[in-house]
Amino acid sequence: MLAQQLVNGIISGATYALFALGFTLMFGVLNVVNLTYGVYFSTGALIALYATRHFGWPILLALPVAAIATGLIAVVIDGLLLTPLRRKKAPELASLMVTLGATLLLYSLMTAFIGTDIQRFPPAAIDPSAIEIGAVRITRSQMLIVGTAFAMVALLLALMRGTRLGLAIRALAENPDVARLMGVDVTLVTFFVSFVSGTLGAAAGILIGLNYNAIQPYMGEAMMLKGFAVIIIGGLGDIRGALIAGLILGLLEGLTAGYIASTLKDAVGFLLLVLTLWFRPVGLFGRAAAKRA
């Protein structure tokens, strides 16, 4: 049982990490807590759902198309809501509030049109059979989640540290005014980061929707609460921190439910969150990696 519980923990931890990546990137670079992120998670899953269901697209086509479409939506939302505030140099809480309002608006609009019934991808979208390694079972969609989470972290870190674009992003994260003086096209880089973050959110929504078969507009909201815990524990803006914090949270939750009591499962994340805020508010690894790397 222990081996399976550890695998369970890694899978749900990878789920949290995958979700938190785009969220923490947005915070680290753009310096806003963008609550509409949960909406991208739901939107991506819903777009991919309609593409597979109504146009019969295979998931391998629906996933990138839905993710890119959601990335563009994220750019539009950023342009409408956050760019004006940046121009005005409004306090950071103003941007948190505006995204909070937009989140409520978007969720309730989505439910007004498509309801809150859960839906799933057509069963043919992914082979449901599990692979057995000794006493441990893992399904294809679960492997896909774990693989994608690690691959995305590696890709993002490579982008940030190894490319000119990454340099520009880091400059923006450090100080937008200085970055502008250094010749960085701040507007373009901002949109790029929003795009990447929206794409990541959507991809997470699609993969997680594929695994748990519970797609509905509010799926992002439920995930947000875990997302907060993960990005604070991992350090706001820290990409590697999000992965590790996600895995720690997933493992601790699994072990708590398996060996202590399932009633305490949900409390684990928030206990970790409170401990982090009291003793290490900068997160596990200190200063945000996006700013430091």
Partner 1 sequence: MLKKLTALAALPLAASIWSAAALAQSKEPVTIGAIEILTGPNNKYGIAIKNGFDLALDSVNKNGGVLGGRPLAIAYEDSAGNKDQAINAARQLIGRSKVPLILGPTLSNEMFAAGPVANERKIPIVGTSTTANGITAIGPYVFRTSLPEADVVPVTLKTAQQKLGIKKVAVMYGNDDAFTKSGYDVMKGALEKLGIETLTTETFGSKDTDFSAQLTKIKSLNPDAIVVSALVEAGSGILLGKKALGFPEKVRVIGGNGLNAPKVMEIAGDAANGTLVGTPWFVGKSDPASEKFVDAYKAKYNMEPDQFAAQAYDTLFIVAKAINDAGAAEPEKIKDALGKVKYTGVMGPFSFTANRDPAETSGVVVIEMHDGKFRQFN
Partner 2 sequence: MPAFLDDFLFSYQSLIYSLGINGLLALSMYVVLAIGQLSLGQAAFMGLGAYTSALLTLKVGAPFPIVLLAAMAVPALAALIIGAPTLRLSGVYLALATIGLGEVLRIAFVNSELTGGALGLSGIPEKAGYTIIFGSLALALIAFVLVSRSRIGRAMEAMREDEVAAGMLGVDLPRYRISALVVSAMLAGLAGAFNAHVSSFISPNDYGFDAAVTILSFALLGGIGSPFGPVVGVVILTLLPEVLRPLHDFRLVFNGLIIVIAVLFMPHGLLPWRIGRTGARA
Residues engaged in binding partner 2 (CB under 8 A): 33, 81, 84-85, 90-94, 96-98, 100-109, 112, 221, 225, 228-229, 232, 236, 263, 266-267, 270, 273-274, 277-278, 281
d(CA 286, CA 276): 11
Owner of token pair 């899953």:
45
Task: Give the residue with the Cβ less far from partner 2, 56 or 281.
Answer: 281
Q: Is 83 in the site for partner 1 (CB under 8 A)?
A: no
Return the closest-CA partner of residue 18 out of 246, 251, 249. Answer: 246
Is position 218 an interface residue for partner 1 (rule: CB under 8 A)? yes
Residue 35 DSSP one-character state: T
Q: With CB cut-offs between 5 and 8 Å by kind, which of partner 2, partner 1, none does residue 177 bind?
A: none
Residue number with CB closer to partner 1 (263 or 278)? 263
Q: Which stretch binds partner 1 (CB under 8 A): 20-28, 46-54, 71-79, 209-217?
A: 209-217
Q: Is 238 helix (H, G, I), strand (E, B) or coil?
A: coil
Dihedral angle over CA of 74, 269, 31, 292, nearest 10: -120
Q: Answer positive or negative: Cα dihedral of 165, 152, 21, 230.
A: negative
Segment lying near partner 1 (by CB under 8 A), choices 19-27, 62-70, 186-194, 259-267:
259-267
| Per-residue contact string for residues 109-148; x = within reach of partner 1 by CB under 8 A | --xx--xxxxxx--x----x-x-x----x-x--x------
Q: Which element (helix H / strand E) includes 183?
A: none
Distance in Å, CB of 115 to partner 2, minimum = 13
Nearer to partner 1, 83 or 213 (CB): 213
- The vertex-61 CA angle with 46 and 10, nearest 5°, equals 70
Q: Is 159 in the site for partner 1 (CB under 8 A)?
A: no
**130-133 and 136-139 as β-strands: parallel, antiparallel, unpaired?**
antiparallel
SS (H, E, C) 66-125: HHHHHHHHHHHHHHHHHHHHHHHCCCHHHHHHHHHHHHHHHHHHHHHHHCCCCECCCHHH
Q: Note the residues at the interface with partner 1 (CB under 8 A).
A: 1, 4-5, 8-9, 11-12, 15, 111-112, 115-120, 123, 128, 130, 132, 137, 139, 142, 208, 212-214, 216, 218-219, 222, 253-258, 262-263, 265-266
